Amino acid sequence: MGFRALKVFFILLFLVFFSCKKKNNPPAKPVIVSCPSVGGVNTLYSFFAFSEDPEGDSIAIRFDWGDGNISNWSSYVPSGETVKMSYSWSSAGTYYVKAQAKDKKGAISEWSIAQQIEIIIPSGWTFGGSSNDVGYSVRQTFDGGYIIAGYSSSFSGGPDIYLIKVDDNCNLEWQKTFGAPGVDLDIGYSVEQTSDGGYIIAGYGDSAGLNAYLIKTDANGNFRWKRVYGSWYSDEGYSVQQTTDGGYILTGFTQVSTPHIYTDVYLVKTNEEGFPEWEKRFGGPYDDYGYSVQQTRDGGYIIAGHTDPSGDYFYDIYLIKTDANGNLEWQKRFGGSSYEYGYSVKQTFDGGYIIVGSTYSFGAGGYDVYLVKTDANGNLQWQKTFGGYYDDEGWSVWQTLDSGYIITGYTKSFGAGKEDVYLIKVDKNGNLEWQKTFGGSDEDWGFSVQQTKDSGYVITGYTKSFGMGWEDVYLIKTDKNGNPIKKLSF
């Protein structure tokens, strides 16, 4: 074979070889399957994405976080398997997260379609650790700061009662937990500063044999005493107030077994050392619950909760008035043909009562915030609902200095995420003046609200959108118009 023919042969062989070699196509653009839309600064978020390779090769994924930083490539995973990466932003802003894939041969995909995440400075403060921490009650203290009670699973293996003291700028001064080692559950539902500068907490838990109890502390949160109330069935304490004689009034519910197990509203009056002076039960043959109690100006007590009058679980709001010795003066029910729940009651300036809870009978859709105003004898004067198409509930009400009312709870109808803290201001006739939401892309609930000395408001609850753990205690301070007084760093 001549040189020319040999040359042609090798050229043809080269062309045949490379034409037979399989082309390496790059992986598909990754699909980001989880990206929050709103979040807080310095909060760690998880992102998930996957890509498929045409040849079925293993792939790696990296993310562009939209702030000038791009992650390292992940470890290789099988084609189509989801990759998880975590990231946090240290400053507020709007960022566009993208992902890119490559196979083991080095072929790189195009960037995925960018997804937006808005990083904000949260309108509040969080407290807790790496597990679940919730705030159920907040009150302003004599020094202008705030005391919060709830529970924590982060510090002592709890959940244990969690007591937090902050100063007037919401900076942590101290925090305490109360509960027996190795016991599963202790929760603080209500807290109030006492006349000696200490604190009284109403709670419930396994360390009390599934009974209601009170814990008294000194001004620094150091344990003073614990008193347990109830029967050998489950009893829960939800609301406590110091009474004018220096003792305490506690409400919740207690289980009764005659002839079947059901619950009654439970009312306990104690002396200043927490020892019972008397106890009362209220309700019918089915389940009745007490969630809020206040001493009235005549020395008696007003209780709000809900009742199942027919045994069909269609609850009504239940309002009970007693005299100073806990004897029933009158009781009222409020609601429609479906479900109503009462969570908070206050005596109003005119001697009547304001109750907040939720209703499924009235409103715009799902559950709605339900606000009921009565006269001094418990007769209905007006009722209002607030919310949208989805579930919205009211958990706490306070009469404001202008004779209106402030309400907190949660909303699914408005806001930035799954649920947001819901703050509603109404006038003395229950007409809406404004409403605000607080939170991020996950669940955020408000359980307690109070007007503060500066005419603003303080709220506590929990947040899954911000903080260190699965749930963190959420503390929000606003001005008189509901605008948040924001923390400058988080």
pLDDT digits (tens, 9 = 90+) for 414-446: 998 789 999 999 999 999 999 999 998 889 999
The amino acid that residue 418 corresponds to is K
Residue 13 domain flag: no
For residues 158 and 84, membership in a common domain is answered with no
pLDDT in tens, 458-483: 999 999 988 877 899 999 999 999 99
Task: Pull the structure tokens for residue 398.
Answer: 């306070």
Q: Tell me the mean pLDDT in the region 346-363.
A: 98
For residues 317 and 263, membership in a common domain is answered with yes
Q: Tell me the mean pLDDT in the region 159-180.
A: 94
For residues 112 and 150, membership in a common domain is answered with no
Helix spans in 324-455 (H): none
Asked if residue 16 has pLDDT above 60, the reply is: no
Q: Where does 4-132 show beta strands of DSSP type E? A: 31-34, 38-40, 45-50, 59-64, 83-87, 93-103, 115-120, 125-127
pLDDT for res 256: 82
Binning pLDDT at 50, 70 and 90, where does residue 9 land?
low
The amino acid that residue 167 corresponds to is D
Residue 12 domain flag: no
Contacts of 296 (CB under 8 A, 6+ apart): 302, 321, 347
For residues 115 and 135, membership in a common domain is answered with no
Asked if residue 487 has pLDDT above 60, the reply is: no
Task: Give the residue from 102, 120, 138 where a domain finishes.
Answer: 120
Asked if residue 448 has pLDDT above 60, the reply is: yes
Asked if residue 385 has pLDDT above 60, the reply is: yes
pLDDT for res 258: 66
For residues 397 and 465, membership in a common domain is answered with yes
For residues 52 and 177, membership in a common domain is answered with no
Residue 411 domain flag: yes
For residues 220 and 348, membership in a common domain is answered with yes
- Nearest CA to 74 out of 116, 113, 102 is that of 102
Task: Give the residue from 120, 154, 181 where a domain finishes.
Answer: 120
Task: Give the residue from 76, 100, 120 where a domain finishes.
Answer: 120
Q: Which residues pair with 97 in a beta bridge?
A: 115
Residue 432 domain flag: yes
Asked if residue 51 has pLDDT above 60, the reply is: yes
For residues 116 and 132, membership in a common domain is answered with no
pLDDT for res 412: 97
pLDDT in tens, 262-291: 899 999 999 999 999 999 999 999 999 999
pLDDT for res 87: 92
Residue 190 backbone class (left: φ over 0; alpha: ψ -120 to 50; beta: rest)? beta
pLDDT in tens, 111-150: 999 999 888 777 899 999 888 999 999 999 999 999 999 9
Are the CB atoms for 186 and 179 separated by under 8 Å?
Answer: yes
Residue 104 domain flag: yes
Task: Pull the structure tokens for residue 316.
Answer: 């009504």
Asked if residue 489 has pLDDT above 50, the reply is: no
pLDDT for res 209: 74
For residues 315 and 431, membership in a common domain is answered with yes
Binning pLDDT at 50, 70 and 90, where does residue 28 land?
very high
Assign residue 378 the CATH number of its domain.
Answer: 2.130.10.10
432 C-beta neighbours (distance < 10 Å), count = 11
Asked if residue 214 has pLDDT above 50, the reply is: yes
Q: Please, what is the Cα angle at 13 between 8 and 17, to 5 degrees?
A: 150
Q: How many domains is the chain built from?
A: 2
For residue 366, what are the domain limits?
125-478
Are the CB atoms for 279 and 267 separated by under 8 Å?
Answer: yes
For residues 305 and 452, membership in a common domain is answered with yes
Residue 23 domain flag: no
Q: 109 to each of 51, 142, 387, 427, how far by Cα in Å?
A: 9, 62, 46, 59
Position with higher pLDDT, 296 vs 34: 296
pLDDT for res 232: 62
For residues 232 and 376, membership in a common domain is answered with yes
Q: For all residues of the chain together, what is the average pLDDT? A: 91
Asked if residue 210 has pLDDT above 90, the reply is: no
For residues 315 and 359, membership in a common domain is answered with yes
Residue 17 domain flag: no
pLDDT for res 490: 37
Contacts of 219 (CB under 8 A, 6+ apart): 196, 197, 198, 199
pLDDT for res 11: 60
Residue 9 domain flag: no
pLDDT for res 488: 38
Radius of gyration of the chain (CA): 29
